Amino acid sequence: MACCLESALLLLLLLLLLGSASSTEGNRCVEAAEACTADEQCQQLRSEYVAQCLGRAGWRGPGSCVRSRCRRALRRFFARGPPALTHALLFCGCEGPACAERRRQTFAPACAFSGPQLAPPSCLKPLDRCERSRRCRPRLFAFQASCAPAPGSRDGCPEEGGPRCLRAYAGLVGTVVTPNYLDNVSARVAPWCGCEASGNRREECEAFRKLFTRNPCLDGAIQAFDSSQPSVLQDQWNPYQNAGQAKVEA
């Protein structure tokens, strides 16, 4: 009985977050969610992070989630789920604030990245922790190598780096520097931290944030994926022609 109740609550939570096709026609986030639901592996992994990051926190009260389990479940989703489906959920385009707010809450809930303090911490804290972590550090380096502007290239970005940039960005979800959409009126992303209390390391802090907030290569990769999403979902088993890509260990 408890198992059935938990499953029902999970389903209700997903519907509240993403809406339904009947009420949000043309919502690409809903289309991506439906495609994930139809895939057994994607749905199982999504249910796992929903339970760890959203469900338990919501049912037991604020601050009750286990952050390490939430982050691990998020990493597993992107490491083991079909990239076409996981990326479609992460980078789905929105035209209205309601859709955008649901998208913002889907992959980086408060359990995954925010703390009990009222103001976000300095980015130097999660950045320093990431650079000391054997799991986070290579993911951050991969993101920098794949998404950072490259002045010597044709368009100022790494050659053919769009798909690699998106994979590297997705690899940061579930780490201490988990990025997320900033608000429900734009597609701007950033880690949940600021630079106001960075002291004499303010420049270093700002440089890190600009990798997300002022990065034309990341913005271009997200926009390119959004424009191709319908065909990506139709060909979900062969995204980017890299079906043999090695999975990042969660």
Q: Is residue 76 scored above 80 in pLDDT?
A: yes
CA 135 → CA 90, 115, 130, 131, 165, distances in Å?
A: 21, 21, 8, 9, 18
169-186: pLDDT as tens digits: 999 999 999 888 877 777
Higher pLDDT, 72 or 8: 72
Give residue 4's pLDDT band: very low, low, confident or very high (50, 70, 90): very low
Q: Is residue 22 scored above 50 in pLDDT?
A: no
Whole-model pTM above 0.75? yes
Token pair 């009990």: residue = 116
| Cα(52)–Cα(48) distance, integer angstroms | 6
89-126: pLDDT as tens digits: 998 888 778 888 778 777 777 787 765 555 778 899 99
Q: In 3D, which of 63, 58, 68, 90 has the Cα closest to residue 77?
A: 90
| Cα(110)–Cα(81) distance, integer angstroms | 22
235-246: pLDDT as tens digits: 554 443 344 343
Give residue 192's pLDDT band: very low, low, confident or very high (50, 70, 90): confident
For residue 47, what are the contacts with CB-CB under 8 A and spacing of at least 6? Answer: 10
Higher pLDDT, 18 or 148: 148
Query: Which DSSP helix (H) or strand (E) runs through 98?
Result: helix 97-107
